[in-house]
Amino acid sequence: MPKTILQGRPSHQLRSLATLLGTTAAVLARRCVGRPMVPQWSAAFEIGTLFFRRQFIHALALPDIADSRAYFDSLYTVVVANPDVDQRPSAAGEPRGDWFIPRGHSSTLTLLYFHGGGYAFYGAVSRHFIAMLAQMLQVPIFAPDYRLTPEHPHPAQIDDGLAAYRHLLGTGIEPERLIVGGDSAGGHLALMLLAKLPAAGLPQPALAIALSPWTDIGRRGASQFGNDRYDMVQGCQTLQYGAWLKAGTNFTDAELSPIHQSYRATAPLYLQAGGKEILVDMIRDFAKGLQQQGGPVRLDVWPHMTHEFHAYGHTLPQSQQAIDSLRAAMAWATSADGMALPANAQTEIDTLVLHSQQQP
């Protein structure tokens, strides 16, 4: 059953609780007069979207990033209160992070997964999402606790990502049994990592998965600001996150954006997005660019969904379908039998290029 958790400073808890109650009242009042924000949304989904939008707006308005993180962490909801997953921190001498291991799993795969949060947040809600994902995918996940902005601009994150990838290979995990993935900024990191592997002299994984990935740290597409009214993340926030990522460096937007990288000799990529999210246009542009490069890529867009709709797990049909599709993609990438969506998935398939041969 879903569970709401309050923690941290009492003043943050009270403001967050007031925001949740006010959001709930406003949504229910509009729906009583037949005015849902999106007719295809449930009341719970609309409340969640607007609540987290307001939480992010207030958190980013605070003058201290540590306080921003504490505020955002003060109230969150998990759809699986106690995932059937063993969570343990990495050992001394290993890259900093956590293992999420489903109890009783039989998978021979490992998923290296980078959390979202604009490179500036790693909240408890993200850790709960990764635990839920491990349970639903039935695959062990290592989630690096990579360094965050604004304290640590680029290249801290890609350096930490490469260190984690090297470490997993060094433990004996074969690249053919390794999946790389992430959501939002974590999707950005997964995609940048994939592009950097050739220069680092490292083999490609079996597959890369990216959920609502941030593919351009600059301005791109009408949805970046045009979908502000629907999404929990706002277009102006992506520009702030981008400014923090390159702060004090000479890197350009193009150098730090997956959309400007080469993927001609990389692993297959499976991308998922929501049709109402601010990043959907840049994700489509990225997928089309990969198609032009001749890379194996698939993009599925759930038309009425927002950024990171996967967090709703089994409580939202579209989220369940998306995670089922991730399992199908992972099975395809490690068996070369052909990537296919579950029969009940209702998605808009923008780009579909499937290569069954093993990538170099």
The answer as to whether 238 is a domain residue is yes
Checking if the pLDDT of 343 tops 50, the result is: no
Cα(43)–Cα(65) distance, integer angstroms: 31
**The pLDDT of residue 356:** 32
For residue 321, the tally of other CB atoms under 10 A from its CB is 20
pTM exceeding 0.85: yes
Percentage of the chain beyond pLDDT 70 is 93
User: For residue 163, what is the domain's CATH number?
Assistant: 3.40.50.1820
Rounded CA gap, 28 and 24, in Å? 6
Structural domain that includes position 331: 80-353
Same structural domain, 149 and 274: yes
The count of structural domains within the chain is 2
192 and 47: one domain? Answer: no
Q: Are residue 148 and residue 269 in the same domain, yes or no?
A: yes
Which segments within 92-206 are labelled E, that is strand?
A: 97-102, 110-114, 141-144, 178-183
199 plus 342 within the same structural domain:
yes
- Of 55, 77, 99, which residue is a domain's last? 77
pLDDT at res. 332: 85
Angle 108-162-251 from CA coordinates, rounded to 5°: 145
Nearest of 193, 51, 70, 76 to residue 127 by alpha carbon: 76
Q: Which residue has the tokens 């990529």?
A: 269
Answer yes or no: do 237 and 328 share one domain: yes
The mean pLDDT value for 348-357 works out to: 43
Based on the fold, state whether residues 165 and 221 are members of the same structural domain: yes
Of 41, 56, 77, at which residue does a domain stop?
77
| Residue where a domain stops, chosen among 35, 56, 77 | 77
Lowest-confidence range among 83-87, 247-251, 292-296? 292-296
Indicate whether 344 pLDDT > 60.
Answer: no
Taking Cα atoms as reference points, which of 76, 178, 86 lies closest to residue 135? 86
153-195 tens-digit pLDDT: 999 999 999 999 999 999 999 999 999 999 999 999 999 999 9
Task: Let me know if residue 359 belongs to a domain.
Answer: no
